[in-house]
């Protein structure tokens, strides 16, 4: 199954009875990126509510991965089956769709792709749209199969700080990474995790789509990823998944997302 698919490829799949298109857009984001298409949906799309249904509500940190049982229950509510081919998109281009992709993968679902360029690309092609989300009439039979190797917690990050065979890649902007810019979350200190490298998520994208594989290889080569286990971080675990997904296109390294990311680290480590 392709990790990313083009708008043309998705259009060809619209009559696939196993296809489920999920809109992963959120109303706001800490990157300050606004969408022109908040009231438009791809034909047949259902809503993947990242904030309310697919984040751990009891966590003190934002966007925390829900437990496998919670994910399973809410995936079934939107009609996801074990046999479903899930295609994810957002209304910015590539943003929360990458986070949703990582979530489906960590829950063991193999048939999942991200629409490269998202809704803006779909609109550019004048492909079928609708104003409202498609209703879900039948509950799905999705089953979580948690892949614990795809996530890192704070203890794992601490234990690998000086490990030459491990590399933490931070997807925040250069200003936030260097500490020259304030964090968008109030009262959160700025800076970075020791020995981490910076690949801002914007660097792996071009006009809302992933860059060509040749360009991505050069980006990762600059931070010396060869033969290393990769841990991806950002502010709260969303844009880390964009760079994680980009690495999946060109690297075979073992990799995980530090789900708590800088928000957790800066709150707990002085």
Respond yes or no: is residue 234 known to be catalytic.
yes
Instruction: State residue 30's pLDDT score.
Output: 62
**Is the pLDDT reported for residue 44 higher than 70?**
yes
Predicted confidence at residue 34, as pLDDT, reads: 77
Q: How confident is the model at residue 35 (pLDDT cuts 50, 70, 90)?
A: confident
Q: Is the pLDDT of residue 78 over 80?
A: yes
pTM for the whole structure: 0.96
Q: What does DSSP assign to residue 165?
A: T
pLDDT at 96: 97
Fold agreement between 4-146 and 149-268: yes
Lowest mean pLDDT among 30-34, 96-100, 208-212: 30-34
Average pLDDT, integer, range 137-156: 98
User: Of 30-44, 110-124, 136-150, where does mean pLDDT reach its minimum?
Assistant: 30-44
**CA atoms of 214 and 123, how far apart (whole Å):** 27
Question: Is a pLDDT exceeding 90 seen at residue 27?
Answer: no
Whether 31 has a pLDDT exceeding 70, the answer reads no
What share of residues in the chain are helix, strand, coil (percent, to 5)?
Answer: 30, 15, 55
Which residue in the block uniquely carries the two structure tokens 């829900």?
A: 66
For all residues of the chain together, what is the average pLDDT?
Answer: 96
Task: Answer for the pair 99, 24: CB distance below 8 angstroms, yes or no.
Answer: yes
What is the CATH T-level fold of the domain 149-268, as seen in this structure?
Answer: Oxidized Rhodanese; domain 1 (3.40.250)
What single DSSP character describes residue 213? Answer: H
Beta-bridge partners for 89: 23
Query: Dihedrals φ, ψ of 137, to 5°?
Result: -95, -30
Mean pLDDT of the 56-68 span: 93
> What is the structure's pLDDT at 215?
99
Please tell me the predicted confidence (pLDDT) of residue 38.
81
Closest CA to 25 of 76, 95, 83, 74: 95
Q: Using DSSP, state whether 47 is helix, strand or coil.
A: strand
Per annotation, catalytic residue among 22, 234, 241, 266: 234
Which residues, 6+ apart, have CB-to-CB distance to 110 below 8 Å? 1
| 215 contacts: CB under 8 Å, gap ≥ 6 | 206
Domain ranges of the chain: 4-146, 149-268
Digit-coded pLDDT (tens) for 4-20:
999 999 999 999 999 99
What architecture does CATH give domain 4-146? Answer: 3-Layer(aba) Sandwich (3.40)
pLDDT, tens digit, 9 for 90 and up, residues 166-201: 999 999 999 999 999 999 999 999 999 999 999 999
């Amino acid at each position: 199954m392709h990790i990313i698919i083009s708008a043309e490829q998705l259009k060809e799949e619209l009559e696939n009875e196993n296809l489920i298109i999920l809109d992963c857009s959120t109303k706001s984001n800490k990157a300050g990126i606004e969408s022109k298409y908040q009231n438009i949906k791809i034909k047949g799309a259902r809503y993947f509510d990242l904030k309310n249904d697919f984040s751990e509500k009891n966590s003190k940190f934002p966007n925390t991965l829900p437990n496998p049982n919670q994910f399973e229950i809410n995936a079934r509510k939107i009609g996801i089956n074990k046999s479903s081919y899930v295609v994810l998109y957002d209304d910015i281009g590539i943003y929360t769709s990458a986070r949703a992709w990582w979530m489906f993968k960590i829950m063991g679902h193999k048939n999942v792709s991200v629409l490269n360029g998202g809704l803006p690309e779909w609109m550019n092609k004048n492909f079928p749209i609708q104003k409202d989300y498609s209703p879900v009439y039948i509950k799905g039979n999705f089953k979580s199969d948690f892949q614990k190797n795809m996530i890192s917690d704070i203890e794992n990050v601490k234990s690998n700080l000086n490990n030459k065979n491990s590399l933490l890649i931070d997807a925040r902007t250069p200003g936030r990474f260097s500490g020259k810019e304030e964090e968008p979350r109030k009262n959160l200190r700025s800076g970075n995790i020791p020995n981490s490298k910076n690949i801002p998520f914007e660097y792996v994208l071009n006009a809302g789509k992933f860059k060509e594989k040749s360009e991505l290889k050069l980006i990762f080569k600059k931070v010396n990823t060869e033969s290393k286990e990769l841990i991806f971080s950002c502010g709260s675990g969303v844009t880390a998944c964009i760079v994680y997904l980009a690495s999946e296109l060109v690297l075979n390294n073992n990799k995980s997302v530090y789900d708590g990311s800088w928000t957790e680290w800066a709150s707990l480590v002085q």
